[in-house]
A and B are shown apart, each in its own frame.
Chain A
Amino acid sequence: DADVTQTPRNRITKTGKRIMLECSQTKGHDRMYWYRQDPGLGLRLIYYSFDVKDINKGEISDGYSVSRQAQAKFSLSLESAIPNQTALYFCATSDAGTGGRYGYTFGSGTRLTVV
């Protein structure tokens, strides 16, 4: 099994619908992140969580919300999806004990299309 699992892998949804992307990890890491990837823009941080009770907005949090249900689970929700939220979404984890020196472990991504 993958260390960081994202579900679903692909999703097509309609404008205005609520959708949840899920992420679970078996790394035992404290810190979890949601990024979106758009062509030519790289990866941009949506939300991050340093532990279950610590959730923070990233650079592009508008239109998104998150829930950290447990150390191992971090979900991203689009309350009312719009077409410009069509993107590839990545979940990532890191270990607080390393101080960030070892980078992130990424999931395989969720490709979301809003029509």
Chain B
Amino acid sequence: AQSVTQPDIHITVSEGASLELRCNYSYGATPYLFWYVQSPGQGLQLLLKYFSGDTLVQGIKGFEAEFKRSQSSFNLRKPSVHWSDAAEYFCAVGLSNFGNEKLTFGTGTRLTIIP
């Protein structure tokens, strides 16, 4: 079965600084990979996704992520964070075979932005 690890429970960065959130997955084939963001009191919003092609994917709100097969990683990055980026971020992996599209989520990384 697939699994996802987000090793950082909580990260604090200064506004304007760069950000990288880590995600590692375990799956035998090329998975579908996703990053979701959850603002306080809200549901989950899709930031970006990868399922094939260019390994550097661009998402909404200025985020990007890079799929590295050799490292089984899909880290999320942003060059300069804004106070509004404070939220919880979830990495998720899905099976790439038709007919069994269940997502497995990581435990999340809470991002705090300081002025």
Asked whether A100 lies within 8 Å of B101 as measured between CB atoms, the reply is yes
Asked whether A40 lies within 8 Å of B107 as measured between CB atoms, the reply is yes
A residues 5-35 near B (Cβ < 8 Å) are 31, 33, 35
How many chain-A residues does the 8 Å CB contact rule pick out? 25
Question: Which B residues touch A96, using CB under 8 A?
Answer: 101
- Interface presence of A63 (CB below 8 A): no
Size bin of chain B's contact surface: 20 to 34
Asked whether A42 lies within 8 Å of B103 as measured between CB atoms, the reply is no
- Interface presence of B65 (CB below 8 A): no
Question: Which B residues touch A31, using CB under 8 A?
Answer: 101
Bound-state CA distance A44–B98 (Å) is 21
Q: Which residue of B lies closest to A45 (CB)?
A: B102
Q: Which residue of B lies closest to A95 (CB)?
A: B101
Map CB proximity to A onto B20-54 as digits: 1 under 8 Å, 0 otherwise: 00000000000010101000001111100101000
Interface on A for B, CB 8 Å cutoff?
31, 33, 35, 40-45, 48, 50, 58, 90, 94, 96, 99-104, 106-109
